[in-house]
Chain A
Amino acid sequence: MFNAATIWQVVVNGASLSAIYVLVALGFTLLFGIMRVVNFAHGAFAMLGGYALYYFWGRFGVPYVIAVPLAAAFVALVALIAEGLVFRWFYQRMFESMIALLGLNLALVYSAVMIWDVSERSIPPAFSGLIEVGGLLLPKDRLMVICIAVVVLVSFWVFMTRTRQGLAMRATAQDLEIAETQGINTSVTYRIAFLIAIFMTALAGALYAQIYSLSPFMGDRPLMVAFVVVILGGMGSIPGAALGGVILGFTESFLATFYGASVSSFVSFGVVIALLIVRPWGLLGTPDGARA
């Protein structure tokens, strides 16, 4: 089993898994980093992104390159309603946000069940077929996700570090009151951060639904993954989410291929627990009086 061909395939699989995981975790960590909100409805927004793509690309035939960001933007705009009605009451209040967003998740998921029925659907693939390089196989749609993940990460990093709005967001995250005294309109900043976070979540959800399948319950796994990635990388850190996603993706690929799924789960959980005990702020997070 441990031959060169399998090992290379494991690496390729790991890369595609990492890309998916990173995308899925970005929106989640942004919401926590800036607004200290644990978005338990993360999976629900990803699911909505999936259904949006199903309609724009699958039913209305919008060209793929436009359909994907359009679906994400559509969900982000509609989510503003949720922002005004639900999220706004819970900024900076971690525990209350957890429960309220849990409620929002239930409401969204079961509304989806009533609207769309429980059966799984598939979104027609944008690129089908495989790329074969020297015996290694990679489905084209997964390669596309890797490319999109890189593009999203880079553009997001540029936005946060090189633009005024990005600077405003980082300042607001560090200290709300001081940022306000500096003249930053924090409620606008929060709203922009919310839009970007949900945009990325819905985008990840759309791609996720296309690679796997679409159903009202599909969001459970992205939520779990986002949690683990963000714990690994550090809550609120974007490079952390990238690093966490890569570590999780490659570890899962390696362990599950060579040792089976249960070993992979146990080890992943064990490592995360150990990390939380030894270095709770994650690999790239900032320690903030984490330990007594």
Chain B
Amino acid sequence: MTIQRLCVTALVTALACFGAWPVLALEELKIGAIGPLSGGGTAWGLAINRGTQMAVDEVNAAGGLKVGDKTYKIQLVMVDDAYTATGGRTAADRLIKLEKIRFIIGPIGSPSVLGALSATDPSKTLVLSNGFAMNILKNESRAAYNFRTIDTTNEFAPAMIEWMHRKHPQVKKVGMLGTNDATGQAVLPMLTEIYKATGIDVWTDSFDRGSQEFVPLITRLMAQGVDLIDLNSNSPSDAGLIIKQARQAGYKGLIWQVGGPAVPEIMEIAGPLAEGFMSLEMFDFSSPIGEKFAEKYHAQWPGVINAQVPLWYNTTKILFEALRRAGSTDVEKVRDAVKATEGYDAGVIGPVVWGGQAKYGVNHQLLVPVWIAEVKGGKEIILEKITPEKR
């Protein structure tokens, strides 16, 4: 018996070493990530870090990424950009020059993305980022080396607002409180245009991000006679507080968010006052795929999952697929492969659709399907799925 046990153990050990051997002998391929790991934007920076890390861990556990005739162990290097332009540029420089990286995931804030592009474009580094500014895709170099892999207001708003008009035709005037920063100033005019085109009147005002005290602004908003409040791209904290304070001020109309999304955080902050709140959702956590993803996430990290985590996971998977298809780490080949990933399904978001030609002049915008969710009885339920138009 003991001899048998010994043999089995030896065999298993040998197999394990043999199985691990390829990974041990693998060359390393570094990919970079940039995002805010300090200040108010830290939640999104962590979303980039964790979403990307999940994809990296997955590919390494499967034995590495096969690119051409080599198999690589992927290493993720993440740098903080402090959500500023200088930060994005310095982070990009550090990744490109010090770490010799040619593929970057992120950043998220427009100033940071634009700052980073001044380093990545000249050095031909591939960037898969977020950021709401038009300039990110619509620029002189025609986004030669960058893509945007998360929907912006341009992509999800038209379909959502059309849905609202259909389901609640009694809405005649919408009030929007937006932030006084890059995102807010980009998003409010976009939304105003779309609402007006749908025949809904618009009133807007802006505030300093993180101000937390909205009662005077809400009093002002309520005096305008709006029947819908749109929280547009406010942070989870500001959005949750606006809902709480609006209900406390006696507002009885509809509240929703064409942006975010941050439904769990908002439910946490506004408590029972979040009842009836509707929002954009970028991922259906209640679906079987969603639940599996949440399980995998919670094996490593506790707490609420930021809605962007699966989107960055998806982004990284697209990059890996492009690397695999290109069969080389040459940036131009990988970039062309990214463009050709149409139809590839990473298993969380659905098949890849590239669009944006009409608005930006290039098809470098990933069109991600979105959902509309509502808070009913203290739970988030999905109402409808919306697919952005391919334009």
Contact = CB atoms under 8 A, between A and B. Distances in A.
Q: Do chains A and B touch in the complex (CB under 8 A)?
A: yes
Interface of A: 1, 6, 9-10, 13, 16-17, 110, 113, 117-122, 124-125, 130, 137, 139, 212-213, 215, 217-218, 220-221, 252-258, 260-262, 264-265
Interface string B195-208: 00000000001111
B237 interface: yes
Interface stretch (B6-14, B20-28, B210-218, B320-328): B210-218
B343 interface: no
A262 B180 contact: yes
Interface of B: 38-40, 42-43, 46, 180, 205-208, 210-213, 215-217, 219-220, 223, 236-237, 240-241, 248-250, 265, 268-271, 302-304, 306
A122 B212 contact: no
A261 B208 contact: yes
Contacts of A217: 39-40, 42, 210
A256 B208 CA distance: 12
A17 B205 CA distance: 20
A212 B211 CA distance: 10
A16 B216 CA distance: 11
A256 B212 CA distance: 13
Nearest to B219: A257
A36 to B, nearest CB: 30
Contacts of B240: 120, 122, 213
B237 A1 contact: no
Contact of A13 (B206, B219, B306): B219
A261 B248 contact: no
> Nearest 4 CB-CB pairs, A to B?
A256-B216, A261-B207, A257-B216, A118-B42
A218 B38 CA distance: 13
A213 B220 contact: no
B216 A13 contact: yes
B42 A113 contact: yes
A213 B241 contact: yes
Nearest to A113: B42
B210 A120 contact: no
Contacts of B268: 119-122
Given A1-B223, A125-B271, 19 more contacts: A6-B223, A10-B216, A119-B306, A121-B268, A137-B250, A212-B212, A213-B240, A213-B241, A215-B237, A217-B39, A220-B210, A221-B212, A252-B216, A254-B216, A255-B216, A256-B220, A260-B206, A261-B180, A262-B207
Contacts of B207: 261-262
A83 B321 CA distance: 55
B224 to A, nearest CB: 8
B223 A265 contact: no
B303 A261 contact: no
Contacts of A130: 248, 250
A265 B213 CA distance: 13
A128 B207 CA distance: 27
A264 B216 contact: yes
25 contacts: A1-B220, A10-B216, A10-B219, A13-B216, A117-B302, A118-B43, A120-B265, A121-B268, A122-B268, A122-B269, A213-B240, A213-B241, A213-B269, A217-B40, A217-B210, A221-B211, A254-B216, A255-B216, A256-B220, A257-B219, A261-B205, A261-B211, A262-B180, A264-B216, A265-B208
A265 B43 CA distance: 27
Chain A CB within 10 A, most for which of B212, B216, B265, B303: B216
Given A13-B216, A261-B206, A119 B304 contact: yes
A137 B216 contact: no
Contacts of B217: 256-257, 260-261
A260 B220 contact: yes
Nearest to A264: B216
B265 A17 contact: no
Contacts of A125: 271
Contacts of A118: 42-43, 46
B213 A17 contact: yes
Contacts of B237: 120, 213, 215
A253 B220 CA distance: 10
Chain B CB within 10 A, most for which of A6, A137, A221, A261: A261
A130 B250 CA distance: 9
Nearest to B264: A119
Given A113-B42, A261-B205, A213 B212 contact: yes
B216 A253 contact: yes
A260 B180 CA distance: 12
B206 A122 contact: no
A13 B215 contact: yes
Contacts of B250: 130, 137
A82 to B, nearest CB: 21
Contacts of A264: 216
B216 A212 contact: no
B44 to A, nearest CB: 9
B348 to A, nearest CB: 21
A9 B269 contact: no
A121 B241 CA distance: 11
A217 B45 CA distance: 15
Contacts of A261: 180, 205-208, 211, 216-217
Nearest to A2: B223
Contacts of B304: 119
A262 B46 CA distance: 31
Contacts of A119: 43, 236, 265, 268, 303-304, 306
